[in-house]
Amino acid sequence: MSTFRPILGNAARKDQFFPRPKIRKAILDALELNQNILISSPRRVGKTSVILDLVDSPDVRFYSVYLNTEGIDSGEKFFQQILSNIFDIDNLDQFGNFGKEAVSFFKSWGERVAAIKIAGSGIDLRQADKPSYYDQLKQFLTEAKLGEKQIVLLLDEFPVTLENILKKEGKDAAAFFLNQNRELRQTPSFQHKIRFVYTGSVGLLNVAKRLDATDRVNDLMEVKVGPLNAEEAERFIELLFHFRLKRMPSDKEVQSILKIIGVFFPYYFQLLIKEMADLADAGQKEDLVNKAFQNLVANGNIHLQHYKSRLRKIFDSKQQGFVTRLLLRIKTTGGLQRQQILNLAEGEGLRDELDDILDTLFHDGYLAEVQDKIGFYSIILENWWK
């Protein structure tokens, strides 16, 4: 781990990645049992880095194919991108570990799909002579001979894709899209060829519930990516100090950092210790931890503003207003009981939507419920929120 080079903001890969061996093992064990998986976690816990580790450090049993689906807003585009990524030659050559016959099969299929795309340019998708990408994926899986290997599709931010389709094409289209995914997972002849791993900070079950379609995702095995445990957190602090400050932390610094972070999200450790390094470079020598915390609260917009902008993507305007006021109320009170929040929602005509709103805020890393109070997940985020 002496080569550990942490990155802030983007998904960590290779020597930037802090290994999570227990989570990796849970995912690989589930795949070995032919499970399809839903990886759930709040934002900034590191789930994207965890699944990219399956690409960068591949298991010989699986051909891992990663796709960030957040910007996709139609089923056809979704399945097109899946095919394109499966047949990516660089990925095949580097990570596929297939025999010559299988590689030749993949390449010929890649050419077929490319030819369909070219031939179909400008043609109405409903024309019978242009097969859908969904049908092409099914045909590929029918013909594929992969031996003992399986394709593992790592579909990042899948619930956002479902939300996009819901907003653009309506409830029926979104439910149909879930049906298509379930059919691929449940077709017996495909089950030893392909596995699906969905991730999302916004809860997939929440979106499925709004579509009255929870039965279309109830076959997924949930694997949770949680915050670091205490031992991991202390090791992470040491590695960040070594990289950023070129020294080991004192016991007092470690305990102060753990107290400030509260819930051990890797992202917040990186923010705080980077700020400490910047202060040290500027000549600050005393009380680095607290001064770094104060700076983040005062000037952390560039790193924390996305939490506010994301609310506009998740909620409609009425819900946004309620959530904004709710978060400010929670900050000023130090936490609210569920009944108090229910009373606020009733006053704004959102009682029936409250469970979905809170579930989304829990899943997306804003709020957590501890004992009988709901408060901010992160002490840094709570103090910065305004």
Q: Are residues 166 and 88 in the same domain?
A: yes
pLDDT of residue 102: 79
Q: Are residues 240 and 354 in the same domain?
A: no
Q: Are residues 207 and 237 in the same domain?
A: no
Q: Are residues 96 and 201 in the same domain?
A: yes
Q: What angle do CA 284, 286, 288 make, to 5 degrees?
A: 75
Q: Are residues 75 and 184 in the same domain?
A: yes
CA-to-CA separations, 328 to 258, 323, 364, in angstroms, rounded: 24, 9, 17
Q: Are residues 210 and 292 in the same domain?
A: no
Q: Are 47 and 199 in contact (CB under 8 A)?
A: yes
Q: Are residues 295 and 306 in the same domain?
A: no
pLDDT of residue 201: 65
pLDDT digits (tens, 9 = 90+) for 323-368: 999 999 999 999 999 999 999 999 999 999 999 899 889 888 899 9
Q: What angle do CA 51, 173, 221 make, to 5 degrees?
A: 35
pLDDT of residue 117: 57
Domain boundary among 299, 326, 351: 299
Whether 8 is covered by a domain: the verdict is no
Structural domain total, the chain: 3
Which residues does residue 370 pair with via DSSP β-bridges, in sequence order? 373
Cα distance between residue 296 and residue 280, in whole Å: 15
pLDDT digits (tens, 9 = 90+) for 209-264: 889 999 999 999 999 888 899 999 999 999 999 999 999 999 999 999 999 998 89
Q: For residue 48, what is the domain's CATH number?
A: 3.40.50.300
Residue in 256, 260, 259, 253 with CA at minimum distance from that of residue 238 = 253
- Three-class SS state of 299: helix
- Domain of 122? 14-224
The ranges of the chain with pLDDT < 50 are 1, 118-128
